Structure 1
Amino acid sequence: DKNCSLRDLSPSLVEENRVCGSVSGGGVCYSGDSVGSVAVYFCDDGYSLEGDTTRECLSSGLWNGTTPQCVETEECICDDIGSCSGVNEPAVVGSTVCSIAIGVLLGVVGLYLIQRVRGQDVWPHLLLSPSPPSTSHL
């Protein structure tokens, strides 16, 4: 991490760090260049932030915490034909993975995460259905 006390740097570097900067897949904005200043991190669409959203400039001249990263998230495969929900959420049995409209007559169809059980084996399974499965299918 860069030293956050910018007083000994050239004026151009100080000014550069007062405005928003970029990180891979997102950016960071600084509230100032002295102790107590805050760095706020954010991610672009298609990325999620892993780590602290904000960091503070300490009296040691370093930022607290660790530098967060913007990690690419999985894109929904039905963007052009439907809407997705829960794509960035942890998968939960019974949750809707994707809802798509298939023609006028068929209507909206959902892709649901369920569990299949055979003997002692349990594994995840995707079910294409016009409505959420009943609990007897989970």
Structure 2
Amino acid sequence: MSQPPDSQVDELLSATRTAIGDELRSLTYFTENEVTQLYLRSDLSRTADLVGFAENERQGFHSQSLYANTQLGDYQFTVRVFENGYLTRVITGEHGIWVTTDSMEMDRFEELTSALSSILRSFDPA
């Protein structure tokens, strides 16, 4: 499966837009084997190395099992902080999303990841 059906893409984009608004830079769906950019803000260049990003973000599939049954509880999401914004990774089962944003308040990430996790849980297994 190269990307979710259009209805699920619309749902992901809508949930992301609702949680973070105009700070959204990009939205990318990935599995262990594939990566598809679902949205890129029009003022940004299409030069990002999606395959390189995906290789790094796929480590999150391992993180789910690595952190299972620890006193920290279940793995929920990852936020990476950069000079010009953030990258948030959400993985549920065999599906993942990473979202890049402009700078924003940190508490908005919890709302974002909760919405995306719920949608990813509804996806059919690949």
TM, length-normalised to structure 1 = 0.23
> Whose helix proportion is higher, 1 or 2?
2
> Whose strand proportion is higher, 1 or 2?
1
- Structure ranking higher on relative contact order (CA contacts 8 Å, 6+ apart): 2
Larger radius of gyration: 1
